[in-house]
Structure 1
Amino acid sequence: MVDDDLRSTLERVGEQFNLGEYEIDAYLTVLEHGQLTASEIADRTDIPQPRVYDTVRSLSDRGLVELRETRPMRIIAVDPDEAFSMVRSSLTEMVDELEARYTAPARDTEAVSLVKSRSTILRHLSDVIEAAEYELILSLTPELLKRFDEELRGAIDRGISIELLVTPAAEAPSPETFDYGAVSTVAKARRGITTPIVAVGDGEYSVYATQDAIRDDRDRYGVIFHRSALGFLVSGFFGTVLWTTAEPLAANGEGRPFPRRYASIRRCVKDVYELGGEFFATVEGRDVETGEALVLSGRVATVELEDTEEVAAMVLDTGEGEVTVGGRVAALEQIEAHEIQIDRDEPPAR
């Protein structure tokens, strides 16, 4: 069902712009001269004299001209900025709502959606944050950080792990003036106005957009990934290219409770490595050679994490032998992990 407010906006805009040929000729002529009589409009256009009065009254009803009931009646142009101020605001809001409606069906049916609407990109960013169940990675401008502040605080309150990259670094709020711990688990800042806007929820629902697209440059674009196999491209790019070249701002993740869930093995291995001690894991993924889906549980025997964080892996002791676990599109390890849960005392139940 169409929203009543949207329907009213469409009707209001349609009424103001639904001008006939005579109305257009009369309106442009009055605009050009400032004010005219009905006879002067007839002399300067092809509008028949008997139709002039109906035409200018129609323009008056739309707020485009003012009628002075003198003898003869004078038709005075209203400043277009004033005449169209309401419809200009309504039109902007209406287009945003219509674009959101138009792109909505593609979200459930297409693996990849290419969008050029700022409002649609912003809507998907909001959806990624709201839909996340346990993990978010984000690259946002300071403006977007402010825009989604409340939603990010809500995600932290839900126990979501959030890696936040703010760019460009020169415009990022300082930790002394902004509480990054309230909106992220770990926050970093990265130089460069070309750093893209990125959002990935639980390693699946992903958004990649240029900063120009967020500034409403019509020549730019955003890409929406709806399936995890493709969303991994965004997550991998974020982890290896963006995150590793950023400078720390704040960290607030040490007190996160267990068990913890991860879509990225890099984040899981990093936590295990930094926290130390014994860990147990349950891994949902597939066999690298056969593609068979499987779930494995056991003790984390060892982890591997390069200084650049570009390579991360773990060895899981299942009780029947040791198994090597890698991330998405793993080749060297035995298991490609799609989701990992860790706990201190025993393997987490699925």
Structure 2
Amino acid sequence: MTDDLRDTLDRVGDRFNLGEYEIDAYLAVLEHGELTASDIADRTDIPQPRVYDTVRSLSDRGLVELRESRPMKIVAVDPDDAFGDLRSSFAEMVDELEARYTAPTRETEAVSLVKSRSTILRYLEEVIENAEYELAVSLTPGLLRRFRDELAAKVAAGVSVELLVTPASNAPDPAEFDYLEVATIARARRGITTPVLAVGDGEYSVYATQDALRDDRERYGVIFNRSALGFLVSGFFGTVLWTTAETLAADGEERPFPRRYASIRRAVKDVREFDGEEFYASVEGRDIETGEEVTVRGKVVDVAFVDTEEVASLVVETETGRVEIGGRVAALEDVEGQEIVIGRGEPPAL
């Protein structure tokens, strides 16, 4: 690597290594030109005690000026002045880096730990974009805004999207934000302790603390590339997070059938919403006694569900008798349901 390229990388890295708080504060100051620390706290999700450290970090990078008045004022620096010296060198750097680039092979590890905020965000985006029929996400209000278009595209494509927004105190007002544009059902949960996560089709998943997305080097994100492990994140989302959140919006009966599920809980909840109506199921899974792969097709004749979501199962009437379908790692039912399709009139195609 040439010295010039290394110098450019150093400068770009220093200038752009911004955490979530720094980005929120910088955008707020840019929009208004000049703000106090209290103004920034009011307009962002940044706790008041963290504002001063955040704006001093921005000042060190030359992105804002601090005027030591009472109260202290944070003044935006013209972006042309703040970033002008990087424009030409950045373009040259990208050309040199592209010339050196060798495409990596796809990550195959079952579990990967990542600490970079940008890497966690990249995996979140990848899980969202790759979901084909079912998506569960827990996002901060800032991340909801960031991934709004991607989530809306999934809803438009017929993907079932369960959205959890945290902390609830900062969630957009349902009267002003169209949650059903980005989710099948949306809930809000109190507290900054709720993790950020995404699970696509019950398999590929990402889990991270909110601190990890603020570039806290002591925190991390976890990437799960196996369905058996993705189930753990999905189960945690459904039984711990989702059940302790308040509903913001739900589309109820608007989604058409047949519907495809990776989660038995979501399948059972949908069937229960149409109490008394006739449904049919097609299920791919494993016999819990032998481990053999099985396919079950027939009429849904019963469901079991408790509000804590710790119990959820379907009973399907097949040509050879009734079969009880459970979720991943089922033990009390006959079959571990891995992919479930619910439809009307006849068993739907898998």
1:105-164: per-residue Cα shift (whole Å, max 9, x none)?
4x5321111101111110111011110110000000000000000000111111000000
1:249-260 correspondence to structure 2 within 5 Å: 249-260=248-259
Residues 1:125 and 2:124 aligned together: yes
Q: What SS is found at the alignment partner of 2:297?
A: strand
Q: What SS is found at the alignment partner of 1:163?
A: strand
CA contact (8 A) 1:168 1:192 kept: yes
CA contact (8 A) 1:103 1:120 kept: no
Question: 1:103, 1:116 → 2: CA distance?
Answer: 21
Question: 1:279, 1:162 → 2: CA distance?
Answer: 22
- Aligned-residue offset at 1:252: 1.5
- Aligned residue number for residue 312 of structure 2: 312
- Aligned-residue offset at 1:294: 1.1
CA contact (8 A) 2:120 2:221 kept: yes
Q: 1:14 to 1:290 in 2, by over 3 A?
A: same
- Aligned-residue offset at 1:102: 9.9
- Aligned-residue offset at 1:85: 5.3
- Aligned residue number for residue 302 of structure 1: 302
Q: What SS is found at the alignment partner of 1:342?
A: strand
- Structure 1: tracts of 5 or more residues without a match: 1-6, 19-80
**Aligned partner letter, 1:119:** S
- Aligned-residue offset at 1:257: 1.0
Question: 1:298, 1:84 → 2: CA distance?
Answer: 66
Among all aligned residue pairs of Structure 1 and Structure 2, give the percentage whose two residues are the same amino acid: 63
CA contact (8 A) 1:264 1:327 kept: yes
Question: 2:194, 2:124 → 1: CA distance?
Answer: 16
Q: 1:292 to 1:114 in 2, by over 3 A?
A: same
- Aligned residue number for residue 336 of structure 1: 336
TM-score of the superposed pair, with normalisation by structure 1: 0.73
Question: 2:244, 2:5 → 1: CA distance?
Answer: 49
Question: 1:12, 1:298 → 2: CA distance?
Answer: 68
- Aligned residue number for residue 35 of structure 1: none
Question: 1:336, 1:237 → 2: CA distance?
Answer: 18
Q: 1:86 to 1:273 in 2, by over 3 A?
A: same
CA contact (8 A) 2:8 2:90 kept: no
Q: 1:181 to 1:84 in 2, by over 3 A?
A: closer
1:102-141 correspondence to structure 2 within 5 Å: 105=105, 107-141=106-140
Q: 1:15 to 1:220 in 2, by over 3 A?
A: closer
Q: 1:11 to 1:260 in 2, by over 3 A?
A: farther
Question: 2:235, 2:305 → 1: CA distance?
Answer: 15
Q: What SS is found at the alignment partner of 2:291?
A: coil
- Aligned residue number for residue 288 of structure 1: 288
Q: 1:84 to 1:156 in 2, by over 3 A?
A: closer
Q: What SS is found at the alignment partner of 2:281?
A: strand
- Aligned-residue offset at 1:319: 2.0
- Aligned-residue offset at 1:13: 3.4
Question: 1:17, 1:138 → 2: CA distance?
Answer: 34
1:243-265: per-residue Cα shift (whole Å, max 9, x none)?
00000000014211111000000
Q: What SS is found at the alignment partner of 1:108?
A: coil
Residues 1:176 and 2:175 aligned together: yes
- Aligned-residue offset at 1:215: 1.2
- Aligned residue number for residue 148 of structure 2: 149
- Aligned residue number for residue 5 of structure 2: 13
**Aligned partner letter, 1:260:** R
Tell me how large the CA RMSD over aligned residues is: 2.8
- Aligned-residue offset at 1:180: 0.1
CA contact (8 A) 2:197 2:206 kept: yes
TM-score of the superposed pair, with normalisation by structure 2: 0.73
Q: What SS is found at the alignment partner of 1:124?
A: helix
Q: 1:230 to 1:280 in 2, by over 3 A?
A: same
Work out the number of aligned pairs and report it: 274
CA contact (8 A) 2:137 2:198 kept: yes
